[in-house]
A and B are shown apart, each in its own frame.
Chain A
Amino acid sequence: MADAKVIPFDEDRPRRRLTGRRVRAVPAPTAEPELAPEHAPEAAPEAAREAGPAAGADWDRRIAGGLAFLRRRLTGEYEVDDFGYDKELTDQVLMSLLRPLYDKYFRVEVKGLENVPSKGGALIVANHSGTLPLDGLMMQVAVHDHHPAQRHLRLLAADLVFMLPVVNELARKAGHTLACAEDAQRLLEAGELVGVMPEGFKGIGKPFGERYKLQRFGRGGFVSTALRAGTPIVPCSIVGAEEIYPMVGNAKTLARLLGIPYFPITPTFPWLGPLGAVPLPTKWTIQFGEPIPTDGYPPEAAEDPMLMFNLTDQVREQIQHTLYKLLVQRRSVFF
Chain B
Amino acid sequence: MGKVVLVTGAARQLGGRFVRRVQRDPDVERVIAVDAVTPPHRLGAAEFVRTDIRQSAIARVLAEHAVDTVVHLAVTGGGPVGARSAVKETNVIGTMQLLGACQKSPSVRRLVVKSSTSVYGGAPKDPAVFTETSQPKALPSTGFAKDAVEVEGYVRGFARRRPDVAVCVLRFANILGPFADSALAEYFSMPVMPTVLGYDPRLQFVHEDDVLDVLQLAAGEPRRGTLNSGTFNIAGDGVLLLSQCSRRLGRPTVPLLMPAVTWVGSALRTVGVTDFSPEQIRLLTHGRVVETTQMREVLGFEPMYTTAETFADFARSRRAGLLPPERVGWAVERMAGLLDVELDEGAQR
Contact = CB atoms under 8 A, between A and B. Distances in A.
A67 B334 CA distance: 10
A13 interface: yes
Contacts of B64: none
Contacts of B328: 71, 74-75
A60 B126 CA distance: 45
B341 A23 contact: yes
B339 A63 contact: yes
A191 B247 CA distance: 31
Contacts of A92: 349
Contact of A74 (B129, B134, B332, B337): B332
B244 A68 contact: no
A15 interface: yes
Given A9-B346, A172-B200, A67 B332 contact: yes
Contacts of B343: 64, 67-68, 71
A74 B329 contact: yes
Contacts of A169: 198-200
B332 A71 contact: yes
Contact of A84 (B128, B246, B258): B128
B129 A82 contact: yes
Interface stretch (A178-186, A218-226, A252-260): A178-186
Interface string B162-184: 00000000000000000000000
A67 B239 contact: no
Nearest to A11: B346
Contacts of B342: 15, 18, 22-24, 60, 64
A45 interface: no
B36 interface: no
Interface string B120-131: 000011111101
A83 B340 CA distance: 38
B341 A76 contact: no
B244 A76 contact: yes
A79 B202 CA distance: 12
B129 A67 contact: no
Interface in B298-349: 325, 328-329, 332-333, 335-337, 339-349
Nearest to A70: B332
A129 interface: no
A8 B244 contact: no
B198 A183 contact: no
A227 B344 CA distance: 46
A83 to B, nearest CB: 5
Given A67-B332, A70-B332, A165-B197, A20 B340 contact: yes
B245 interface: yes
Nearest to A169: B200
A60 B332 contact: no
B248 interface: yes
A78 B308 CA distance: 11
A80 interface: yes
A178 B244 contact: no
B202 A10 contact: no
A280 B85 CA distance: 58
Nearest to A81: B239
B199 A165 contact: yes
11 contacts: A10-B346, A13-B344, A23-B341, A23-B347, A67-B335, A67-B336, A83-B129, A166-B197, A169-B199, A172-B202, A183-B127
Interface of B: 124-129, 131, 134, 196-200, 202, 238-241, 243-248, 258, 287, 289, 325, 328-329, 332-333, 335-337, 339-349
Given A15-B342, A75-B328, A180-B127, 12 more contacts: A9-B346, A61-B347, A63-B341, A67-B336, A74-B329, A80-B202, A82-B202, A167-B198, A178-B125, A182-B127, A183-B129, A186-B129
Interface of A: 7-10, 13, 15-16, 18, 20-24, 60-61, 63-65, 67-84, 86, 92, 159, 162-169, 172-173, 177-178, 180, 182-183, 186
